[in-house]
A and B are shown apart, each in its own frame.
Chain A
Amino acid sequence: MVAAHGAAMNAREEVLGRIRRAAGNGPAPATGAVPRAYRSRGDLRGSQLLDLLAARLTDYKCSVRRCWPGELASAIAAAILDRGARSIVLPPGLGLPLPDPATTGADLTLVVDDGFSAEHLDRFDGVITTATVAIAETGTIALDGSSGQGRRALTLIPDYHLCVVYEHQIVCLVPEAVAALTPERPLTWISGPSATSDIELDRVEGVHGPRTLEIILVAADGPAHATERGELCQST
């Protein structure tokens, strides 16, 4: 074919031509439907999903706090104070109840991302975002860059990432998350803080991405009993 078309044939046409010739060799391949007998929907609901997600996040060295919607503001404030973070960068459209630096008494600044350079982002102590979907079985949160989640660099450079996940955003399985996400958006799936196992297969948490990942899980409904409320709010 090269001889027939000479130098005029470009790489694209030649590679596609090779593929067509290669495919013509040997028996015609089976092109039937792909068997999709794997689980595409999990059977856990509500608090079971929350429990599984919390356990799987913790297993991969992610800090987890659980709260009811009315307690979100104090949960966020407690997370930031415990961390000792002074400067926090926020994505536009975050829509979370944030502590007021004037009333907390702490030396805290909250700044909305204004297209800061990478070097500038490196000077922040942390970032607070929401997520689009969370996968309970794998302990994964997925961000798609929409309102409240920010561009990808925002959750990459600061060393501390605090992420708020609501119960209705949790799915059980990976295929459910894939179905829930929009592929045209820039997506980042995060399962625990950055890590490496490159030295003797010993897992070390904290490499180039945020070295600390903290998740606040917000249960869907208010507490039915005060005692349950106390248990749920414990940091795990």
Chain B
Amino acid sequence: MSTFLGLPTAPAGVGHLRGSEPFPVAARRALADTQLRRNLAKATSTIRAKRARVVAELPDWEELREAGRAIKAHTLAHLDTYLEQLESQVTARGGTVHWARDAPEANRIVTGLVRSAMATEVVKVKSITTDEIGLNDALAAAGISAVETDLAELIVQLDHDRPSHILVPAIHKNRSEIREIFLREMADVDPGLTDVPAALTQAARQHLRRKFLSAKVGISGANFAVAETGTLCVVESEGNGRMCLTLPDTLITVMGIEKVIPRWADLGVFLQLLPRSATGERMNPYTSMWTGVTPGDGPQDFHLVLLDNGRTAALADPDGRPALSCIRCSACLNVCPVYERVGGHAYGSVYPGPIGAILSPLLTGIEDNASLPYASSLCGACYEACPVKIDIPSILVEQRARHVEATHGRSAEAITMAAAAWAMSDPARFAAAQRGGQLGRLLARHGVIRRLPSPLSGWTAARDAPAPPRETFRQWWRRTGRP
């Protein structure tokens, strides 16, 4: 376990924050999968268009973004106060609050709670946080089976696959692939099942109905938790969330500590920002809010697990801290040209795409996700789409710098950047360097350089470098004269 300013990051060996291979290796394989690229291109372009349409409807979208950013920044600056307030409100309303330093501790708490409820099966509403900590594996090791009930999560679970998108975890699979999975893995499925999405959806409804109606324990994440009232909030579409939050006797909610918001009124901001950014809807079909336990309505035994697992290490990093403002809408994934081509698996973490490229290294420490800050072209589309204005490109650059520092400044990039800084800080040196760069034309064929010499060969391994121009801008300016 590494530390950032003495604060422990998320431990290795449990959960899903680290890939088994670096991003460039995984990305190269993903790029070769044409079916995957077709699925991704279709899905991301559809959702981008929907989002743009509903965002354009609101005259105060920018004001909402600014309020969202400011609420989150304020919360992170007073996180201890708001968590204590949340705890006392939940407790006062009949809930029980647990604190977990890391994934293993959270898994132990949840497993213990399921055992004391005498359950061997739990129903789960999609929760990236429980995926982050590897809860299903921990439950399985204790002989408890966890049934994922979100349609996409069910598809992924039945196929023994991994989610590839924050919001639409099976975005990498098309309808005929899903039909094959259902026919293969659902014992009670109609063998005449077609690949029409409505038919596939009804098959999932039938498959899960009995499990919902007889479930003893439900497990959820949380989109928001209001400190001043102790209210938990889950947004969803299918009703599987309502089933899990309402029907079981026991409800266990696992929530990252950064999900708390100060005031009830703050929901008026986030319940506009989230659905429009996420699914491109004015409002998602179902939003459930509950405060502790309500006699005669819903679970009578409610547990809230507050999880750190590297979040305080991210909080301690003044440059990375805004990443904790993320409300998991996935708008940044859908606009990212890198994500659109490689998909979520290449990032190796439950948090893929631009936000994952900063959040995963912040949670694990840069050394365990060293290639992720480079999984970006720094085009800035993610910053523009982010409903809470997280400046993802700037944080990516900070993390690259941190990675370079961590490798003792001896990498080719570090040397190149240091040399560039030296040359560009003096006009004469800069002019000389530019003239030197023109020598690169000797390497070029038809205007491109296919292979640069070491240590720059890494750049040309995946792309061509344009040949330097015949003359520099300064030379052109001198030759053509001022207008």
A contact set with B: CB distance below 8 Å: 10-12, 14-16, 18-23, 25-27, 29-31, 34-40, 56, 60, 115, 118-119, 122, 135, 137-140, 145, 151-153, 156-157, 173-175, 177-179, 183-202, 204, 206-210
Contact = CB atoms under 8 A, between A and B. Distances in A.
Interface in B184-226: 197-198, 200-202, 204-205, 208-209, 212-214, 226
A26 B4 CA distance: 13
Contacts of B93: 184
Contacts of A122: 209, 213
B197 A178 contact: no
A23 B315 contact: yes
Contacts of B226: 183
Given A11-B99, A152-B297, A191-B283, A202 B7 contact: no
Contacts of B459: none
Contact of A37 (B63, B168, B281, B284): B63
B99 A15 contact: yes
Q: Which 9 A-B pairs have the closest CB atoms?
A: A209-B239, A26-B318, A175-B268, A22-B316, A208-B239, A29-B77, A18-B312, A207-B238, A138-B283
A200 B59 CA distance: 30
A30 to B, nearest CB: 7
A196 B105 contact: no
Contacts of A21: 5-7, 312, 316
Nearest to B318: A26
B306 A186 contact: no
Most chain B beta-carbon contacts within 10 A, residue among A10, A179, A185, A196: A196
Contact of B229 (A16, A23, A115, A183): A183
B297 A174 contact: no
Interface size class of B (residues with CB under 8 A): 35 or more
Given A199-B151, A200-B43, A19 B105 contact: no
A197 B315 contact: no
B197 A199 contact: yes
B264 A183 contact: yes
A71 B226 CA distance: 41
Contact of B231 (A119, A183, A193, A195): A183
B49 to A, nearest CB: 10
B84 interface: yes
A140 B237 contact: no
Nearest to A13: B99
Q: Of residues B5, B204, B285, which shows the largest number of chain A Cβ atoms within 10 Å of its Cβ?
A: B285
Given A16-B83, A38-B60, A194-B238, A11 B100 contact: yes
A195 B238 CA distance: 5
B100 A139 contact: no
Nearest to B272: A174
7 contacts: A19-B312, A152-B246, A156-B247, A185-B291, A201-B43, A208-B209, A210-B239
B236 to A, nearest CB: 9
B63 A35 contact: yes
A151 B284 CA distance: 21
B152 A198 contact: yes
B286 A190 contact: yes
B286 A198 contact: no
Contacts of B265: 175, 178-179
Contacts of A15: 83, 99-101, 257, 306, 308, 312
Residue in A39, A118, A183, A208 with the greatest tally of chain B CB atoms within 10 Å: A208
B470 interface: no
B296 A151 contact: yes
Given A35-B63, A201-B46, 14 more contacts: A11-B101, A15-B83, A19-B79, A30-B77, A151-B296, A151-B298, A173-B268, A174-B283, A178-B264, A190-B285, A194-B237, A196-B238, A200-B197, A207-B205
Contacts of A184: 93, 229, 231, 291
Interface stretch (B66-74, B337-345, B430-438, B443-451): B66-74
B47 A145 contact: no
A175 B60 CA distance: 13
B222 to A, nearest CB: 14
B158 interface: no
Contacts of A27: 318
Contact of A25 (B46, B70, B243, B316): B316
Given A25-B5, A174-B272, A197 B237 contact: yes
A29 B74 CA distance: 8
Nearest to A211: B205
A164 to B, nearest CB: 19
B27 interface: no
Contact of A22 (B7, B198, B209, B245): B7
Contact of B287 (A152, A183, A188, A208): A188
A23 to B, nearest CB: 7
Given A198-B152, A207-B151, A35 B67 contact: yes
B42 A200 contact: yes
Contacts of B204: 207
A201 B46 CA distance: 7
A29 B73 contact: yes
Interface stretch (B14-22, B170-178, B420-428, B475-483): B170-178
A152 B101 CA distance: 33
Given A19-B80, A25-B318, A31-B78, A145 B294 contact: yes
Contact of B285 (A26, A185, A191): A191
Contacts of A139: 282-283
B378 interface: no
Given A178-B271, A186-B294, A189-B286, A156 B246 contact: yes
Contacts of B285: 60, 190-195, 209
A119 B247 CA distance: 11
Contact of B240 (A39, A118, A208): A208
A26 B271 CA distance: 31
A31 B63 contact: no
